[in-house]
Amino acid sequence: MTDWEALTAELYLGPPATEELLKQVLAGMRVRPPADYVAFMRRTNGAEGPVGAHGYLQLWRLEELIELNREYQVQEFAPGLFLFGSDGGGEAYAFARPAEHDRDCGPVQIVRVPFVPLDIAEARLVGTSFEAFLRHLAQQPVRSVLVVDAANVIGSVPDGWWHDRAGAAGRLHAALTRRQPPYDQVVLVLEGQARYGVPPGIVEGVTCVHATGEGDDEIVAQCRIAANGGAQVSLATADRGLIARVHPQGVVIIGPRSIPRS
């Protein structure tokens, strides 16, 4: 087995892309992708699965590329990038133009960038060829993600939080930014009135997510996103029903009082 075959052995592969589709999509890209990416898409139009021991790749199909870049408003928020896939979680993979004015100037870069905030300043180089990119995925360590059930954590201490749910959420968020738990990513899920205490987005390493429906549903979704991206996920909660829902994903449960409050 060659190195290339070993890197892609566990990917679920699709049918090959036609030359007509390749030509059409490449003409619409704002960047010229690496030649080995184009060759790979000739073999399989899209792919998904593990890469190495810890990496994970969702490689978007060619016919999805233009529309997904439009939906994510890449041209508005991160001009110079062109998204082509994701880690199955909160990070996108993108081609980066070497020069804003010239799609053919110098070797293209492959970068990883968070979906939120989608900002070229947050992009990190992971290769200058598709094979180098796959090698990076295969060698990356396991990420650790902590999802915080804010309602349960706040409610675990009877300090009068019910008088000002938004203020309690703001204090919890501030404590997490000051005394960050030892995880690569911390996700704070807010629901109801607590959402008015912290805006959505990333502040000092803490990702705040607003639940638009039931808070538990959003927490389960955030755990699933992180786990599908290959992360080791922990959840701070004492909610037995919620614990039962995330158990199939291999989520580690930690007590709500282990989360810093001040």
d(CA 10, CA 87): 15
Token look-up 């073999």 returns 43
Predicted pLDDT at 201 = 87
Token look-up 């979680």 returns 89
CA angle 232, 147, 256 (to 5 degrees): 115
Q: Where are the domains of the chain?
A: 3-139, 144-258
Whether residue 248 has a cis bond before it, omega within 30° of 0: no
pLDDT average per 10 residues of sequence, the chain (262 residues): 72 91 88 90 92 87 93 90 90 77 57 86 85 86 85 89 91 90 88 91 86 92 83 89 88 87 74
Predicted pLDDT at 132 = 87
Torsion sign, CA atoms 25, 29, 32, 34 = negative
d(CA 88, CA 132): 19
Model pTM score: 0.59
Q: How many Å is the Cα radius of gyration of the chain?
A: 20
Predicted pLDDT at 98 = 56
d(CA 44, CA 62): 10
C-alpha pair distances (Å), 262 with each of 172, 180, 184, 206: 7, 11, 21, 15
Instruction: Confirm if 115 and 129 have CB atoms less than 8 A apart.
Output: no
Burial (0-12, 13-18, 19+ Cβ within 10 Å), 238: middle
Q: Which strands form 206-210's sheet, in the order they lie side by side?
A: 201-203, 206-210, 185-190, 144-149, 232-236, 252-254
Which H/E stretch holds residue 51? strand 47-51
Conformational region of residue 106, where left means phi above 0, alpha means psi within -120 to 50, and beta covers everything else: left
Q: Kindly report the backbone phi and psi dihedral angles of residue 229, in degrees, each rounded to the nearest multiple of 5, phi listed first.
A: -85, 5
Predicted pLDDT at 1 = 44
What is the CATH T-level fold of the domain 3-139, as seen in this structure? SMI1/KNR4-like (3.40.1580)
Predicted pLDDT at 142 = 67
Residue 110: which residues within 8 A CB-CB, separation 6 or more? 34, 93, 94, 95, 96, 125, 126, 127, 128, 129, 130, 132, 133
Instruction: Confirm if 250 and 244 have CB atoms less than 8 A apart.
Output: no
Please give the CATH number for the structural domain made up of 144-258.
3.40.50.1010
Q: Concatenated DSSP letters for 176-233?
A: HHHS--SSSEEEEEE-GGGGGGS-SEEETTEEEEE-SS-HHHHHHHHHHHHHHTT-EE
